[in-house]
Amino acid sequence: MSISLEKGLGSVSSYLTRRILYAFPILIGVNFITFVLFFVVNSPDDMARVHLGNRYVTEDSISNWKSERGYDKPLFIALDNSGKKVFTETIFFDKTVRLFTFDFGQSDSGRDISYDISERMWPSLLISLPVLCLGLLFTLSFALLIAFFRGTYIDSSAVILCVSMMSISGLFYIIGGQYLLSKLLQIVPISGFDDGIASVKFLILPILIGVVGGLGHGTRWYRTIFLEEIHRDYVRTARAKGLSEKGVLYQHVLRNALIPIVTGVVALLPSLFLGSLITEAFFGIPGLGSYTIDAIQSQDFAIVRAMVFLGSVLYILGLILTDVAYTLVDPRIRL
């Protein structure tokens, strides 16, 4: 192994170690804020009432429910205890420590959270991954096309179209798409989900709507990036060398515009897993987006806590991956 490669790997590993260490206080902080926000709105008594129902519930059953799930302890500080138990005999400590081992435990309704996440992650991914890939393909292609026709009426029309598409609410795309393709043309099911290959017919519409809904914003954003690059000296040089316009756009402009593209794409990583609430609700997709919202509505703190934690971890992971990806797309960048 050459010395420079060894050096490179060493710097990457020290960078990763550093970032992972940074992640701990961030995760503790996020968890702390989640606790504060959740318990400002919901007390353990409220949680018990939601789970036990509103009719005929007695104080006894509420206190039983709380003690069984460990919600009978103080939130952050147990003043009745001494020594380290002041902090360890609290709901915050009790529920936080296990998260760092990725042991999400059981939901307040008794379900294994890790199992539910692993089950519900796939439907979310089945929609978000194709939407991301197809969306990137189409937006980059359209943006390059518009960049090619820069300054013409095609460019102006495309920008107007993009701004119009951006201005329309995502909900409109969903309802409009469902109305047009499912109700009027009756081509695909309006909602639902199935396993295996049978799921394809349910995925067409949400994926199509996801791609079309993101076209306006994505195309306009990438067009701006490409136009910025297209006026640089190296593009002029490439043209002067006799490279075709296709070659200029794909080999030079696209490659040099990759950093902002990578930044935008990697930032989407958490949302790929965590799903989209509105899409999942309208299409009946049993993904993680609806899982979190259901948990908030049913005041299931165990799930809320786990999902916020997972979201933070994925976001931190996404940021680390972004930095690593920078070094790949631009060798001048060092970690």
Q: By CB under 8 A, name the binding residues for another protein.
A: 41-43, 46, 49, 51-61, 64-65, 68, 106, 109-112, 115-116, 120, 145, 148-149, 154, 175, 178, 182-194, 198, 201-202, 242, 244-245, 281-284, 286, 290-291, 294, 298-299
Among residues 216, 209, 203, which one has the least CA distance to residue 139?
216
Query: Which residue number, 154 or 328, has a Cβ lying nearer to another protein?
Result: 154
- CB 227, CB 150: distance < 8 Å: yes
| Closest distance to another protein from the beta carbon of 136 (Å) | 19
| Closest distance to another protein from the beta carbon of 60 (Å) | 7
Query: Which residue number, 204 or 267, has a Cβ lying nearer to another protein?
Result: 204
Query: Which residue number, 182 or 263, has a Cβ lying nearer to another protein?
Result: 182
| Closest distance to another protein from the beta carbon of 311 (Å) | 19
| Closest distance to another protein from the beta carbon of 139 (Å) | 16
d(CA 35, CA 43): 11
- CB 307, CB 120: distance < 8 Å: no
Query: Which residue number, 106 or 327, has a Cβ lying nearer to another protein?
Result: 106
Half-sphere exposure of 156 (CA within 13 A, CB side): 3
Query: Which residue number, 191 or 327, has a Cβ lying nearer to another protein?
Result: 191
| Closest distance to another protein from the beta carbon of 237 (Å) | 15
Query: Which residue number, 104 or 315, has a Cβ lying nearer to another protein?
Result: 104
- CB 191, CB 284: distance < 8 Å: yes
| Closest distance to another protein from the beta carbon of 224 (Å) | 20
DSSP string, 197-232: GGGHHHHHHHHHHHHHHHHHHHHHHHHHHHHHHHTS
Spell out the long-range contacts of 250-254 with Cβ–Cβ below 8 A and sequence spacing 24 or more.
250/144, 253/144, 253/147, 253/226, 253/229, 254/140, 254/144, 254/226
